[in-house]
Structure 1
Amino acid sequence: MLRYPLLHPPLLQALATAGHGSKVLLADANYAHRTNVHHRAELIHLNLRPGLVAVDEVLEPVLSAIPVEAVHTMRPDDEDAGTPEVWADYERVLGPDLPLQPLGRHEFYAACRSPELAVCVATGDGRLYANVLLTVGFVV
């Protein structure tokens, strides 16, 4: 029995095998979990039903398990639309030391299809632009 905030065995294994520079995608329910990820990336399904589990609910325990050096989000195509509301939740969880770095949609997809993507966590988060791409840091 673990006394640890993250208990999901397949996710723990996938994160344990990801090293410095690896990417971890926490994907919303609208994301193409099979076609917009690298074919070698581990796919972890947490999308039990729409709205369950949300990306920020996965983000918190993942941050307790791995060091993170960068966080990328998917920028809306319409730049006049403003900042997605969900980003405020991520900023609260991440704190000031890990600022969000938005990428255009196609740049974000390209980053997720790269060989550096080690893990894709499919969530049931229905909020728009709720995808988060973490870059694994190093242990000091």
Structure 2
Amino acid sequence: MLLHSQLIHPEINGILGQAGHHSKVLISDGNYPASSKIGPEAELVSLNLSPGVVTCSQVLQALVTAIPLEAINTMGIPEDDPYAKHGPPPVWSEYEQIIGEAKLGLKLEPIQKWDFYDEVMSDDHVLTIQTADQALWANVLLTIGCRVS
């Protein structure tokens, strides 16, 4: 394998290679409606092999080695959702650890659920990577930054 990053999936690499600054990439969990909540020109790559395989964290871990990022957003939990009383989902801690280890200098920022869908369905959305992650509220939206070196 000649690639330097941890991302070796040919289709995902091809799509990311054509993306530019401000393009958005969604890593969707197993509950996300990936076929209906997608940008008008975005491509869908399904990596959902079986429940829990692969996870959003595994995909994020690979992507942070392959593309520059300027924002990382989770789907915010509505206040009236029963899960909201439990605080941030455990998977968000995994994302924060990945972000920290990659030394991205970014914070995980939630976008409220319906605004999140709007962001995903925008013209800037180029790719959804559909996982089979069973963690609740695991969707994460990446905004590609500028390559500086």
Fold agreement, TM-score > 0.5: yes
**Structure 1 unaligned regions, length at least 5:** none
CA distance in 2, matches of 1:137, 1:54: 23
2:85 counterpart (80, 85, 89)? 80
How many residues matched? Answer: 140
CA displacement, residues 55-105 of structure 1 (integer Å, 9 cap, x when unaligned): 010111111110000001011123433111110000000017110110111
Corresponding position of 1:66: 67
For normalisation by structure 1, the TM-score amounts to 0.95
Select the residue among 120, 124, 128 that pairs with 1:116: 124
Counterparts in 2 of 1:1-140, with a 5 A limit? 1-4=1-4, 5-78=6-79, 79-95=84-100, 97-140=105-148
TM-aligned CA deviation for residue 40 of structure 1: 1.0
Which ranges of structure 2 fall in alignment gaps of 5 or more residues?
none
Alpha-carbon distance in 2 for matches of 1:121, 1:23: 11
Q: Aligned-pair RMSD on alpha carbons?
A: 1.2
Q: What's the CA shift string for 1:107-129, capped at 9, x where partnerless?
A: 10000000100110000101000
In 2: Cα distance, 1:83 partner to 1:45 partner: 26
Q: 2:77 aligns to what SS in structure 1?
A: coil
Q: SS of the residue aligned with 2:15?
A: helix
Deviations along 1:6-37, one digit per CA (max 9) or x if unpaired, are 11000000111110000000000100101111
Identity percentage over the alignment?
41
Following TM superposition, the consecutive aligned residue runs of length 4 or more in structure 1 with deviations greater than 6 angstroms are: none
Secondary structure at 1:87's aligned position in 2? Answer: helix
TM-score norm. by structure 2 comes to 0.90
Distance 1:60 1:2 in 2: 19
Q: Aligned partners of 1:35 and 1:53: how far apart in 2?
A: 21
**Equivalent position SS for 1:121:** strand
